[in-house]
Structure 1
């Protein structure tokens, strides 16, 4: 992880998540500002083609390069020439600030959004975009590169999104992990199943289990998205692969148990298991 990425941060303000990222460029603020606000330049390093009216209240439209119809539109919320450019993008808000840094510039992004588990995908994507901006400013080719998952999962750990939670309702304890994965649900399912399709009433394929969690029989299965099984005293383990970001499926793993349930051991066991799955999905 480079020094820039170590300084990136995920915080909460007014109940929403705020991703803050800053990058330094040797060019003056005027050059960075032009690349940020001129559609022809912005469209080269931004995730979509962009058309905009750079005034507060103006419309900003995002579309695919080959389409004349915008995929989404937003509204410019603030403009301070050569310093601040902010706009809504769907339910999200992006604020870009340009400041002088010696003979060069610093560009700071504040991305405000609701989907906390999606933060690593957003951060990894912006990391690539801001690197592409650097290549554009240097006058070089601005090909869009892809993240194989290493940057994404580095942000998972940096933001502490690899940790599970414990809740208690009456005499029931629940351990829960929510993790954005790098891989579609079909690929995740194949990796977990290992060629053995789960069947209700039969033992659970080992990929869905952990050696520290005694596994019973499959109770419900809907490939490639959902599997649940018994583990002890009426407790259950559930693997739920939901729609996630563009990186792949969103895993929600839960384990429920009685009041005596050793939740600390479960947190440690499933953390290790999910890290192993993530590494396999990255191809390691």
Structure 2
């Protein structure tokens, strides 16, 4: 696997590399011509591979999102913005085939597992388009998504000091199921709180544990089809990491609708 995640200032860069059994000219057509792009890219795209030209995207879920071509070297490099994100495709001859170096730069670091697992499937589809066979690439699985969460270290909490001088930890994690599915698991993981300060199903549960820890679970809009979890708590980092991992595991393993 060639996927890697890096930090560039306040932005995150996902890099991927793939080799295709086709010449660079054929791959260039597949990444730069709208008729080919629409077969494997996660949106319908209208663009001209000319630096400074406009790009439009339509995911079918609402209004088109605009972008701009910021780099274009015919046959070799194409880079454009998609909203606030930056996508760059660079092609290299590789024997009788072609190597693609792809980079996606974005602000939402905790969305990286969703982006990585989604692009993996898109590049599988691109390979099928190049081979001239029907596209069979499916949506990413929860297992694939969570494997990237662990691989990129996105399951690690961030420690800090609370207003009372005691230790606190913050976990942010993209989940693989909506808030309605996560809420009953969170209530079970919360046990029997000593004092519930806020409860807004299925968005917020804040309470004090019997042991005196202050805890806040918050579910908001995320990337992909799942909710974004933010958990802040005082107490043992490892204990809360275990609870977040258990939540993710139960959502990953839950029966899927037929």
Distance 2:227 2:115 in 1: 15
Answering whether residue 183 of structure 2 is matched by residue 189 of structure 1, we say yes
Provide the secondary structure at the position in 2 that maps to 1:279.
helix
Unpaired segments of 5 or more residues in structure 2?
A: none
**TM-score normalised to the size of structure 2?**
0.92
- 1:152 is matched with 145
Q: Which residue of 2 aligns with 1:222?
A: 200
Choose which of 196, 208, 215 in structure 1 pairs with 2:190: 208
For residues 111-135 of structure 1, the C-alpha deviation after alignment (integer angstroms, 9 at most, x for no partner) is: 1110000000011110110010001
Contact 1:121 1:247 in 2 (8 A): no
1:91 maps to which of 72, 81, 84 = 84
- The SS at the match of 2:239 is helix
TM-align CA RMSD:
1.9
Q: Is the 8 A contact 2:32 2:48 kept in 1?
A: no
SS in 1 for 2:145: helix
Partner residue of 2:120? Answer: 127
Alignment of 1:1-284 (within 5 A): 4=1, 7-64=2-59, 71-169=64-162, 171-193=165-187, 206-209=188-191, 215-231=193-209, 235-256=213-234, 261=235, 266-283=236-253
Judge conservation of contact 1:227–1:240 (CA < 8 Å) in 2: yes
Could you say if the C-alpha distance between residues 232 and 192 of structure 1 is closer, same or farther in structure 2, counting changes exceeding 3 Å?
Answer: closer
Give the superposition deviation at 1:62: 0.7
CA apart distance, 1:233: 7.2
Q: TM-score, normalised by structure 1?
A: 0.84
* Alignment: residue pair count: 253
Higher mean alpha-carbon deviation, 241-250 vs 114-123, is at 241-250
1:136-160 CA-to-partner distances (Å, cap 9, x unmatched) read 1111111451122111111101110
CA contact (8 A) 1:56 1:78 kept: yes
The answer to whether the 8 A contact 2:168-2:232 is kept is yes
- CA shift at 1:275, angstroms? 1.5
- SS at 1:154 equivalent: helix
Q: Which residue of 2 aligns with 1:200?
A: none
Task: Could you tell me which runs of 5 or more consecutive residues in structure 1 were left unpaired when the two chains were aligned.
Answer: 194-205
